[in-house]
Structure 1
């Protein structure tokens, strides 16, 4: 059985490709490499000891996408492709609507044209906006607070409308919380250009010496230590959630949303302390002003995924920190393969 993985060269995509290959699926990876690198695909092949086809294609290029479907017998799609930086989405909303929304529409058009109606879709906890009730269940009110979140919300609505029009579609919408960590081999992980937007890669880059200190955005929230609380999930657990969702969509039809998180919230200070404990690295930090729109607490209710998909996160905070650090130590410049600088004594 062959699965098309759009955005398969990215952070979540590569880890999911490894799990798909381990499970015996054939895959075709499609990516523009606009925020990922070809080396990541090579390393997936290395880890899985299997080769697969890579297509350098943008989803909005309909003719090229049709070619991919013509040349490959595709049975289902795992759809990651899109832009994902909240701050950038505020500055460049049209880029986000073009890539995330129009790209998804074109993908669905081509899938329908070729009779492929099984799909696992990357969404986000950002669709919930600033809900106050914790934990967040799938039936919580939706109210995204930025263009990125709105693109994911629009994608979800489009897919629901698609199913209403054609009941042959089978779609699982996966709302991620905060993916962290890396593959246990240390060969693939979160490769970022510029200053990281997310906490864990920021911590690891401070620990390795690429950045001076961690900025903590506010310590006056109504939480146990004043810093924001989030639900962090190991990237491998997240990847395995996609396999469970794929099994579900291949076995039936319908459209359903599922939270993928641990159901446990950790504060920024708890994350820094855990990383220091696990790695022995001291992490300097400074407190700066809150970012607009940041909520105090956000963590998932993952009960639906456990009940319906038979999926549950297995890895704890220590494994998240240890694997993130192994990736950073082994790949100072990520997938760029540049030589790590030698520290002067």
Structure 2
């Protein structure tokens, strides 16, 4: 029996795979490497010293997906595969709807065919849209404001309809807040193609000299320092949330139950920069620019439901997130394209 991890070589995928293997699960992975590198898979083996099966494929390819299910006894699926850049989704909505929604439907159809009815779905806090109240709990209204978020929300609705049609399904959408950091080994981390879309890899690349400066979008929000406040969660804590979700499904729980994965605390952009400067000893130059349309002042999770029902809570603080992200950056200045021997003299 094995857990299938779709998008297994991505940022969340490799960290989740490591924690699944460390917890004693057998895993099968696939990815099309659209935003990841094969080198990441070697690092997973190096960390865990455990074998796993990997397929290079797109989840919309029914023939290759059939091979995955026919060659392996899959007991549950963690579905991470999908396009995830909010800005790109605004300019290329059809690409996002085709990949994320079409791909998920193809996957679900194959799961039905092979009677695999346990699914953990990688959702997002973007399904909540622009909320004016914090912390955000799972019973808040769902009102995504961009194609990426809407693709996640549409998939959640599809999964709810799927359960209505067949109550044997156990489905857990995990609504991520802002995953940052890297594995403590420095072997796996966030390796974006081109200029990073996310805040932490932008900070680390400025710190390393790869980028000139940070752009901070707005300093006139109603927050203590005027910059936007977000809930940052260590990617290892996020990965462990997937393990807890699998444990719940393996216990026979059915239905569709969504959970926030966040720390329950918000940090401003400048707080994150300042903390990173303290732990790294590097100065992060930044320029204040105009707000981005649609950005809210404050957004952080209420993670109570995950604690009560999954037995999960984030353990790592903002300092550890910054330390681990910096370790990853200095050991891998070009992401997974760099295979330099680990340096540990920076601490």
Could you tell me the TM-score, scaled by structure 2's length?
Answer: 0.97
Q: Find the aligned partners of 2:113 and 2:193 in 1 and give their Cα distance.
A: 37
Contact 1:60 1:99 in 2 (8 A): yes
Residues 172-201 of structure 1 show CA distances to partners (whole Å, capped at 9, x for unaligned) of 100000000000000000001111111111
Q: Find the aligned partners of 1:96 and 1:249 in 2 and give their Cα distance.
A: 28
The 3-state SS of whatever aligns with 1:105 is helix
Match of 2:295 in 1: 294
Residues 122-159 of structure 1 show CA distances to partners (whole Å, capped at 9, x for unaligned) of 00000000011100000111111100000000000000
The 3-state SS of whatever aligns with 1:17 is helix
Unaligned 5+ residue runs, structure 2? 342-347
Match of 1:173 in 2: 173
Match of 1:257 in 2: 258
Tell me by how many angstroms 1:50 deviates. Answer: 0.9
Q: Find the aligned partners of 1:338 and 1:171 in 2 and give their Cα distance.
A: 38
Number of equivalenced pairs = 340
The 3-state SS of whatever aligns with 2:216 is strand
The 3-state SS of whatever aligns with 2:78 is strand
Aligned alpha-carbon RMSD (Å): 1.0
Could you tell me the TM-score, scaled by structure 1's length?
Answer: 0.97
Match of 1:189 in 2: 189
Match of 1:154 in 2: 154
Unaligned 5+ residue runs, structure 1? 341-345
Tell me by how many angstroms 1:249 deviates. Answer: 1.3
Tell me by how many angstroms 1:30 deviates. Answer: 0.6
Q: Find the aligned partners of 1:338 and 1:134 in 2 and give their Cα distance.
A: 42
The 3-state SS of whatever aligns with 1:75 is strand
Match of 2:212 in 1: 212
Match of 1:96 in 2: 96
Match of 1:62 in 2: 62
Q: Find the aligned partners of 1:338 and 1:55 in 2 and give their Cα distance.
A: 23
Q: Find the aligned partners of 2:12 and 2:68 in 1 and give their Cα distance.
A: 22
Match of 2:36 in 1: 36
Q: Find the aligned partners of 2:35 and 2:238 in 1 and give their Cα distance.
A: 20
Tell me by how many angstroms 1:339 deviates. Answer: 6.8
| Runs of 4+ off more than 4 Å | none
The answer to whether 1:137 aligns with 2:152 is: no
Contact 1:86 1:147 in 2 (8 A): yes
